[in-house]
Chain A
Amino acid sequence: MRIRTRWPKWTLALTAAALLGFGGAQKVTLTYLTHWPPDTVAKLQSAIDTYQQQHPDVTINVRAVPFGNLLSTLRSQATSPSGPTIAGIYMLWLPELVQNAIADPAPDTYTSDVQNNWPSGVAGSVTVGGKVYGYPNEIDLYALNYNKRLFAEAGIQGPPTTWDELVADAKALTKRDSSGAIVQQGFGIINSWPAGVVHPWLSLVASDGGQLLDGTTAQLTSKQAMAVTDLYHQLIFQDKVTDPAMGTANASTTGPYLQNFTNGQTAMIIMANWWESALRDGMGDSFSDVGTAPIPVGPDGTGPHPVSYTWLNMVNAHASDAQRAAAWSFLEWLDSPQSGQNGSSAMGDILLSMGILPSRTSDVQAHSDRLDTPFLAGYVSQLKNAVPFPAVLGGEELTNSLQQWLERMEFGKASAQEAMQGAQQDIAAILKRYY
């Protein structure tokens, strides 16, 4: 009687092959699309190298493009087979990506991860229709940047906290040459760059108790929007403390507006926290002259409210199941305290290396001493007052439209009234297309 059955060799071989094929890990290749500069990409790469050592079945390739090319790259490549699996995106682009089924909704474990470990406002900025679509990373907001040395020379104690003080200080800080041209402007405004024009303006509106949109209805002809536009008009044409020609930006978001501040030819300007590295580059030791303060409050405002916006990492819904699973898993690791130093995530470390604010609660705590430095403290203290830029469909287009109208007013081609009415009309038409 045969007790042991002798298995034919081929069934053993087949079983072994099956086990190796299915039980063993599938090799997955991911592409990570980012706008970060080469030095930062190097840091991301070393985090990726660590991850790949721990997960030999996953290969991650970084594709870096300049900021100006990021959205167009996304549009051209999102549905392509060789398109990015993970993309770092500006939250304003998310609604359209969700609508076109490009953004992958996060599986439940990751949704809880985001909702538990990020402030509710930030988690909300990556949520569309109740679903979470990515891991938030940087948060950016605006503050009044001022030159302490120029303030001291003009005998002014501290930065302005109201619009009246802003106007008065700007007048005291403006210097003109013999022909009447401004050589030092009290208050600078930016042009030729949509966010640079709209976000500081909107911060002043919010600090006057106003808003850009009420849900999906444009508020450009509201009292507060008109008030800020009138203020700009007054600063440029009546008080002559602002010279729009000194505020030009180029495609890399640097240029004359930055140079004029680093040279000490602009005394005050509202700008975002991430220009810190550009300021250090341009000012060297004089960087200690830079002070940051809350947005000056308007007559109808109850307190300063800077505009904020976030960036996030999303996963491409067109990628394969295996790729998406691997991508979410990688993002969870990248944003967790396990991946970085001293309780920070690798993402947090990378952001801080650029002087950019992380949004994850544990990262803010882990880097509290760096965030306490004079420059950043002025921003971090205002996070609680920040008003997120409205993430609506058509967001890019309406930002551009408002930029055009504000610039026309600044250069004298339209009155403040015409500018706001024109913007109201255009923005309402843009929103009507989607809502």
Chain B
Amino acid sequence: MRSRKIEHAWSAIMLSPGLGLILIFIVVPIVLTAWISLHQWSMYTPIRGMHFVGLANYRSIFGDPGFLQALRNTLAYAGLSILFIVPLALAFGMFLFQGTVAGKSALRTVLFIPYMIPTLAVAIIWSYLYSPLYGPLNQILGWVGLQRQAWLGSIDLAMISLVIFNVWQTVGYYTVLVIAGLTQIPIAYYEAAVIDGAGTLQRVAHITLPLLRRTLLFVVVIAVINTVQVFDPVYVLTQGGPAGATNVLSYQIYKSAFEYGLAGRASSMAFVLFVILVVAVAIVMRLLRADEGTE
């Protein structure tokens, strides 16, 4: 039999490139972020030149309206995105999975393509669509008799404008996840239900949705992680405006470090973001595990 020692040796060798890189380029920076967050640092000096301030950064950010607004906006962006994405992915997934018309897989591809495009390019294209004077969206609104909007220039609509194109870009990806989840549901369940006389709606409610729960939770987790990180569109389009309506955490962190020279403060914000995300994902994972237990 293979000696334990030899297997352990191979484990170490094979793990070392991947885990080594993770250690150097992920774990070390996380520790450094936490360390920097206890200091004041303009980034104009080497790390040794930082000025220790203890927990002062953490205390000040929770009283900082900019940080709190960024936190609210990030949660709003994530929440709104998920609110649109999950039902749409579910609806598109079910639509594409069943049904009898040819071309469904072509449509699935078409839905997926936006995910391939760099977010920067998507943001720029949509900024032209949203352009109050030269864009087609306002033109279309005019055709149906609605008032022209300022979209990204409107304090009320800027956030939802960003959400709309995030949904456009990513719904195809989540739809594919839902379709994958649907393939896991045994046909036998549906056949039994038909024999028992259940109608379409009942079958969806009592078989499809419950058995999709794990997939949907996974979709939510991935969507949370992706939307909380949003940076590119805010950077290139709105710069957090107007009046901070689209100021999100990653942008606030970037501005604090690179424009105001407050890398310590920025790191404390980043660390808070990290902790929030870990807690949120842990909760969702716990639900996922609890789900598995009952199956």
Contacts and interface: CB of A to CB of B under 8 A. Distances in A.
A407 B133 contact: no
A102 B43 CA distance: 11
Interface of A is mostly: helix
Contacts, number: 96
A325 interface: no
Nearest to B156: A411
Interface string B206-248: 0000000000000000000000000000011111011110000
B46 interface: yes
A251 B243 contact: no
B124 to A, nearest CB: 10
A263 B153 contact: no
B244 A245 contact: no
Nearest to B262: A397
B79 interface: no
Contacts of B82: none
B132 interface: yes
A192 to B, nearest CB: 4
A248 B237 contact: no
Nearest to B255: A400
Interface string A43-79: 0000000000000000000000000000110011011
Contact of A192 (B127, B134, B242): B242
B153 A248 contact: yes
A413 B155 contact: yes
B152 interface: yes
B88 interface: no
Given A96-B261, A248-B150, A79 B155 contact: no
B243 A411 contact: yes
A410 B243 CA distance: 9
A196 to B, nearest CB: 11
Interface in B246-295: 254-255, 257-262
The CB with the most chain A CB atoms within 10 A, among B42, B150, B243, is that of B243
Nearest to A243: B150
A404 to B, nearest CB: 5
B242 A411 contact: yes
Contacts of A400: 255, 259-260
Interface in B62-95: 65-66
Given A245-B154, A248-B150, A72 B258 contact: yes
Contacts of A78: 44
B237 A250 contact: yes
Nearest to A405: B243
B3 interface: no
A192 B241 contact: yes
B53 to A, nearest CB: 11
A245 B153 contact: yes
Interface string A228-264: 0000000000000000111110110000100110010
Contact of B241 (A79, A260, A407, A426): A407
A281 to B, nearest CB: 15
Contact of A191 (B236, B237, B241): B241
A50 to B, nearest CB: 33
A75 B66 CA distance: 22
Interface in A392-435: 394, 396-397, 400-401, 404, 407-408, 410-411, 413, 426
Interface residues of B, number: 36
Contacts of A76: 43, 258
Nearest to B149: A245
Given A76-B43, A191-B241, A245-B154, A181 B132 contact: no
B98 interface: no
A193 interface: yes
A251 B42 contact: no
A102 B49 CA distance: 13
Contacts of A256: 131-133, 150, 153
A120 interface: no
B184 interface: no
A109 interface: no
Contact of B44 (A96, A250, A259, A396): A96
Nearest to B254: A72
Given A100-B45, A248-B152, A256-B153, A407 B244 contact: yes
Contacts of B260: 394, 396-397, 400
B150 A407 contact: no
Contacts of B131: 256
Interface in B176-207: none
A97 interface: yes
Nearest to B44: A100
B147 interface: yes
A191 B242 contact: yes
A407 B247 CA distance: 13
12 contacts: A71-B259, A72-B259, A75-B258, A75-B261, A78-B44, A192-B153, A192-B239, A192-B242, A400-B255, A400-B259, A407-B241, A413-B155
Interface of B: 42-46, 65-66, 127, 131-134, 147-148, 150, 152-155, 235-239, 241-244, 254-255, 257-262
The 8 A-B pairs at the shortest CB distance, nearest first, are namely: A248-B153, A407-B243, A192-B241, A245-B150, A72-B258, A100-B44, A411-B155, A397-B260
